[in-house]
Amino acid sequence: MARAAALPPSRLSPPTLPLLPLLLLLLRETRAQDVRVRVAAEVRGHLGDTVELPCHLLPPAPEVRVSQVTWLRLDTPEDNQNVAIFHPQYGPSFPRAKPGKERLSFVKPGQSTGSGPGTEVEVRDATLALRGLTVEDEGNYTCEFATFPQGTSRGVTWLRVIAEPQNHAETQEVTLSLEPVPVARCVSAGGRPPARVSWLSPLDGETRESQVSGPVPGTVTVTSRFTLVPLGRADGVKITCRVEHESFKEPVLLPVTLSVRYPPEVSISGYDDNWYIGRSEATLNCDVRSKPEPTGYDWSTTSGVFPASAVAQGPKLIVHSVDKLFNTTFICTVTNAVGTGHAEQVVLVRGSHCRVRVPTAVLPLTSSPRRVPTLQNQESASRSLRHPPGLAPRRGSSGVGGCGRDAAGAAASGWGVLGLHPAEGEEEEEEPWRRSRRRQRRDLR
């Protein structure tokens, strides 16, 4: 190490000096390569608004001079590609009629490097402002810096013009049918690009979409129709139109309520299976679901005979007193603007009471030795008649178990009753008792 340091300088100088110009040249080329243009790859602007196209020359070496900045549209004819020019000495110019100087300007034209005639402006920021955006403004814009001695550097920006659509949804009132029809419509008007429209629905349906030109040239109006087979159950169901567009922060949701016109769907309520002779203030209700509302109610019977004690009051049938004429089927017919519907209710009238003679015997309807009835047997039979095994008195009976049907139940359980006379209007239900009476009389002879 000491020997190397002791060498005379003359022995190191010859190989070192020839390298200095080469090092300076390399440094200069490196600085030249650092000079570049920075632009945005894509800029979005709303139709009718002002947009800025940024363009910056990155800080170059001090000796770099900007001779001119030019904005071009290379997607236009060659003789009309220059959009805006800025010269350090002569300032800005806008060669094209459209968009023209009325709509174009340089945001920061630069700083003056001196004073007096011939003073030049140092340009490092060539950001271009474009006002009143139209659809025709969309395209590729090239920002070009002409520098000395490095040459020309450029960058390209894609300007997209978008338009926010106007949206609304509405119900389309339809009438019940077996074929699919549009029941709701959603319109997204004047969007650029076209909006994306979809439906959120609990019902199975189909979407049919169409597109036409919007109110402003270059925009599109999207119409989406929700289609299904309109049944009564679809009336009143809420569905939602969902509109998506890149100009929205979040999707737009537009709820609608379906409206389906359908004829009356009718049912009858109020019958409790306990109508007996003489019962008062019984009621049948005609329950209706329809759209539009019913315009008329009509009560009738399948027999054609309408009980005099029944009074029809719109959807209600009020019964003042039940008699044998109520042993029939009642019909409620309802009409609206779409059509007619009806429902039927079968009414079975029970007996109110039973007239009983002194019974001569109460015998099980099974094979047994014949015996002569005694007074004790008669009293026992009378008690058994009042409450046969497994049967309880019904409401409206005279203590003998509901007359018509309970007596039939007693016969079915193996009991025969002598001396039982049916109430009025119950001949068919008491017939088994008459047969058992005749059979027992034959056995006693």
Supply the pLDDT for residue 322. Answer: 95
* Range among 62-71, 81-90, 409-418 with highest mean pLDDT value: 81-90
Percent of the chain with pLDDT over 70: 68
Give the confidence band of 109 by pLDDT, cuts at 50, 70, 90: low
Pairing of strands 37-39, 420-421: unpaired
Give the confidence band of 61 by pLDDT, cuts at 50, 70, 90: low
With both helix axes pointing from N to C terminus, report the angle between 427-444 and 404-412 in degrees, rounded to the nearest 10. Answer: 40
Give the confidence band of 334 by pLDDT, cuts at 50, 70, 90: very high
266's CB contacts (< 8 A; 6+ apart) are 286, 287, 288, 332, 333, 334, 341, 342, 343
User: DSSP string spanning 280-304?
Assistant: -SEEEEEEEEEES---EEEEEETTS
Supply the pLDDT for residue 311. Answer: 95
Average pLDDT over all residues of the chain: 78
pLDDT at 366 > cutoff 70: no
**Type of residue at 366:** T
Which of 67, 103, 68, 99 is closest to 83 using CA atoms?
Answer: 99
Q: How large is the average pLDDT for residues 373-389?
A: 40
Supply the pLDDT for residue 422. Answer: 42
Supply the pLDDT for residue 263. Answer: 95
Query: Are 122 and 88 within 8 A, CB to CB?
Result: yes
Give the confidence band of 445 by pLDDT, cuts at 50, 70, 90: low
Give the confidence band of 148 by pLDDT, cuts at 50, 70, 90: confident
Q: How large is the average pLDDT for residues 183-210?
A: 97
Q: How large is the average pLDDT for residues 416-437?
A: 46
Q: How large is the average pLDDT for residues 188-203?
A: 97
What the chain holds in terms of domains, given with CATH numbers, is 36-110+123-162 (2.60.40.10), 166-258 (2.60.40.10), 263-347 (2.60.40.10)
Supply the pLDDT for residue 352. Answer: 56
Give the confidence band of 433 by pLDDT, cuts at 50, 70, 90: low
CA 287, distance to chain mean position in Å, is: 29
pLDDT at 85 > cutoff 70: yes
Instruction: List the beta bridge partners of residue 317.
Output: 284, 312
CB atoms near residue 418 (< 10 Å): 22
Give the confidence band of 276 by pLDDT, cuts at 50, 70, 90: very high
Q: How far apart are CA 118 and CA 88, in angstroms?
A: 10
Q: How far apart are CA 288 and CA 272, in angstroms?
A: 19
Burial status of residue 179 (CB atoms within 10 A of its CB: 0-12, 13-18, 19 or more) = exposed
Instruction: List the beta bridge partners of residue 261.
Output: 175
Supply the pLDDT for residue 16. Answer: 44
Q: How far apart are CA 253 and CA 444, in angstroms?
A: 89
Q: What are the tens digits of pLDDT across the range 406-419? A: 433 333 333 333 33
Query: Are 429 and 435 within 8 A, CB to CB?
Result: no
Q: How large is the average pLDDT for residues 47-73?
A: 88
Among the ranges given (145-154, 343-352, 362-371), the one the predictor scored with the smallest mean pLDDT: 362-371
109 versus 143: which is more confidently predicted?
A: 143
Burial status of residue 190 (CB atoms within 10 A of its CB: 0-12, 13-18, 19 or more) = buried
Supply the pLDDT for residue 357. Answer: 40
Burial status of residue 380 (CB atoms within 10 A of its CB: 0-12, 13-18, 19 or more) = middle
Supply the pLDDT for residue 101. Answer: 87
61's CB contacts (< 8 A; 6+ apart) are 31, 32, 34, 35
C-alpha atoms less than 13 angstroms from C-alpha of 95 in its C-beta half-sphere: 13
139 versus 353: which is more confidently predicted?
A: 139
Supply the pLDDT for residue 89. Answer: 86
CB atoms near residue 152 (< 10 Å): 12
Q: How large is the average pLDDT for residues 344-371?
A: 55
19 versus 315: which is more confidently predicted?
A: 315
Supply the pLDDT for residue 156. Answer: 95
Supply the pLDDT for residue 155. Answer: 94
Q: How far apart are CA 182 and CA 386, in angstroms?
A: 68
Maximum distance among all alpha carbons in the chain? Answer: 168
Question: Measuring CA to CA, how many Å separate 432 from each of 122, 245, 394, 441?
Answer: 123, 82, 20, 14
Q: What are the tens digits of pLDDT across the range 209-235? A: 999 999 999 999 999 999 999 998 999
Among the ranges given (138-147, 170-179, 412-421), the one the predictor scored with the smallest mean pLDDT: 412-421
Supply the pLDDT for residue 444. Answer: 59
User: Which H or E element spans position 7?
Assistant: none
Give the confidence band of 364 by pLDDT, cuts at 50, 70, 90: very low
pLDDT at 33 > cutoff 60: no
Indicate whether this model's pTM tops 0.75. no
Q: How large is the average pLDDT for residues 426-437?
A: 53
